[in-house]
């Protein structure tokens, strides 16, 4: 069986100037040559997209600096992995559940690492707005999290919907730790 896993590289890391792009890289297929693709082009990737859709993503969290966000493509959807700052974590923890449209405690949106402890630094989400499926922009909106420009949904630093038409929090994909710093999505 061919290796369809997607591994992170430094090029996958996002900064503000690259925020609107998804970076794909794989050690096993020619898809690495694509380097960077705009999200609307993903549907046109044909076989490469099909191959990636069936695979899993391994992400080395240690390569994501504090305040950085990684975007990867997994099963045809963008996945965001954000290394949150202490301030972002504090903001997420300070929110009263009673003000949330889709109440979830921040730590319930995370999983425990190999040590059994939950590390609140790393938030892993499917980067798709739960309204009509646009891709929200990071470090934006009224709650310092993500903002969906399509119809104005604001998500907080835990990816929870706080304002606008989206009905639900951004979805947490199935993932697991395969070592202290590496997660596998899918
Ligand atoms: S798709 Fe995001 S607000 Fe409508």
- CA nearest ligand 1 atom 3, residue: 151
| pLDDT, averaged across the chain | 79
The total of other beta-carbon atoms located within 10 Å of residue 67's CB is 13
What pLDDT, in 10s, does the model give residues 118-151?
Answer: 999 999 999 999 999 999 999 999 999 999 999 9
Per-residue pLDDT at 5 exceeds 50: no
pLDDT of residue 22: 40
* The ligand 1 atom nearest the CA atom of 133: 1
Ligand 1 pocket residue status of 135, Cβ below 6 Å: no
* The ligand 1 atom nearest the CA atom of 165: 3
Q: How far is the CA of 167 from the centre of ligand 1 (A)?
A: 10
Per the model's pLDDT, the better-predicted residue between 6 and 156 turns out to be: 156
Percentage of the residues of the chain whose pLDDT score is greater than 90: 69
Confidence of residue 9 (pLDDT cuts 50, 70, 90): very low
* The ligand 1 atom nearest the CA atom of 151: 3
Q: How far is the CA of 114 from the centre of ligand 1 (A)?
A: 36
Kindly report the pTM of this predicted structure. Answer: 0.77
What structural domains and CATH numbers belong to the chain?
Answer: 6-185 (2.102.10.10)
pLDDT of residue 71: 94
Per DSSP, the residues of the chain read: -----EE--GGGEE-GGGTTEEE---SSSGGGGG-EEEGGGGGG-THHHHHHHHS-EEEEGGGS-TT-EEEEEETTEEEEEEE--HHHHHHHHH--GGG-SS---GGGGS-B-TTS-B-TTEEEEE---TTT---PEES-STTSSEEETTTTEEE-TTS-EEESS--SPPPPPPEEESSSSEEEE-
Distance of CA 172 to the CA centre of its chain: 9
Per-residue pLDDT at 161 exceeds 90: yes
pLDDT of residue 55: 81
Residue in 151, 161, 168 to alter for ligand 1 test, most ligand atoms within 8 A of Cβ: 151
Ligand 1 pocket residue status of 22, Cβ below 6 Å: no
Q: How far is the CA of 141 from the centre of ligand 1 (A)?
A: 13
Which residues are designated catalytic? Answer: 151
Per-residue pLDDT at 108 exceeds 80: yes
Per the model's pLDDT, the better-predicted residue between 2 and 177 turns out to be: 177
What pLDDT, in 10s, does the model give residues 29-47?
Answer: 222 222 233 333 333 333 3
pLDDT of residue 186: 93
Cα separation, 127 vs 112, in Å, equals 21
């Amino acid at each position: 069986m061919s290796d369809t896993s997607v591994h992170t590289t430094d090029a996958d890391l996002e900064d503000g100037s690259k925020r609107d792009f998804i970076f794909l890289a794989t050690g096993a297929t020619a898809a690495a040559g694509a380097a960077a693709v705009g999200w609307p082009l993903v549907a046109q990737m044909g076989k490469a997209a099909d191959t990636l859709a069936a695979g899993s993503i391994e992400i080395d969290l240690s390569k994501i600096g504090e305040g950085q966000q990684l975007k990867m493509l997994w099963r045809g959807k963008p996945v965001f992995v954000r290394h949150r700052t202490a301030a972002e974590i504090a903001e997420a923890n300070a929110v009263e559940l009673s003000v949330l449209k889709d109440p979830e405690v921040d730590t319930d949106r995370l999983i425990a690492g190999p040590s059994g402890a939950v590390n609140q630094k790393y938030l892993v989400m499917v980067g798709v707005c739960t309204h009509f499926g646009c891709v929200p922009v990071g470090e934006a909106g009224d709650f310092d999290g993500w903002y969906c420009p399509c119809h104005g949904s604001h998500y907080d630093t835990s990816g929870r919907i706080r304002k606008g038409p989206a009905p639900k929090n951004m979805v947490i994909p199935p993932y697991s730790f395969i070592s202290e710093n590496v997660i596998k999505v899918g």
